[in-house]
Every structure is written in C-alpha cells, then in structure tokens.
Amino acid sequence: MPGAGYEYINAMQWSTAADLDFRMVGGYFSPRTRPDDGRGNFGPPYPPTLLLLLNVATIGKAPEVNRGAADPGAVTDVADWRATNLVLRDQQANSDAIRQTVDQMFGPGRHVAGVWIWDVRSLT
C-alpha cells in the first residue's frame, strides 16, 4: 500500500529509487475510457482487494473480513500480482486500520524497520 496511481506520486518515486525491482499494483498508465460509464480513467481497473485497502486508508476503519477472503478474490488478487510480500509503511495514513485489515486477510505481519511485512509466497 499505497497503489501506484497518480495520486500516490511518492509510491512511484520510491519504486524508481528502488530500481523498479518489484511489482506494484495499479501501475501508472495513460488515461483510458472506463467501460462502465465512458469517463476517462488513469491506470488500470483496481482489483477488489486493492479497492478495499484504499477504502480502509480513506475512512480509517478496519472492516470485519475472513482470513484469506477480504472478498472472494483476495487470494486470487495476490496470486495475480505475483506478490511475494505485502508492505505497509508506518507513515501511511490510517496505517493501523490497514494493518488490522491485512492481518485479518493474510495473518499477522512482521514489523521491521518502520514497515509491516506480510509474506504471501505460500498463497502464490
């Protein structure tokens, strides 16, 4: 978290500083037309799990979710991302609520050097 959309320029700067040696969900793309309403959209459609986490980041409240199933596609989303780890920095807005949500979905994370890390390799 956060996704790499244009509203999170710091995420794109961080990925560049890290030599782009990882995948980031919702990478930056040119505008396209959304099929649901024809309006322009920056980036790809966000998968359900990322939408859930972005909502938690906005409202600051962790919803009740089942482990491994924030929505029916949580594990599928992580597999599609080919993720090995999920990372949440301590300074992220509403990081406690995000951490609680991800803990519910994927089990407890580890806190290391100012970030929370969830190893999801067993799911992919």
pLDDT tens across 2-14, in order? Answer: 455 545 566 666 6
Q: Are 69 and 104 in contact (CB under 8 A)?
A: no
E strands, the chain, are 32-33, 40-41, 85-89, 110-112, 115-119
| CB burial of residue 28 (10 Å; 0-12, 13-18, 19+) | middle
Spatial CA neighbour of 10 closest among 89, 69, 75: 89
The residue extents of the domains of the chain are: 6-123
Question: What pLDDT does residue 71 have?
Answer: 47
Q: Is 93 exposed, middle or buried (0-12, 13-18, 19+ CB in 10 A)?
A: exposed
Q: How confident is the model at residue 116 (pLDDT cuts 50, 70, 90)?
A: very high
Q: What is the pLDDT of residue 109?
A: 95
Instruction: Choose between 80 and 116: higher pLDDT.
Output: 116
Answer yes or no: is pLDDT of 69 > 60.
no
CA-nearest of 88, 93, 11 to 58 is 93
pLDDT of residue 6: 47
A 10 A CB-CB count for 122 gives 7
Taking residues 10-26, what's their average pLDDT?
Answer: 65
Write down the pLDDT at residue 7.
57
Overall pTM > 0.75? no
pLDDT value at position 33? 54
Percent of the chain with pLDDT over 70: 60
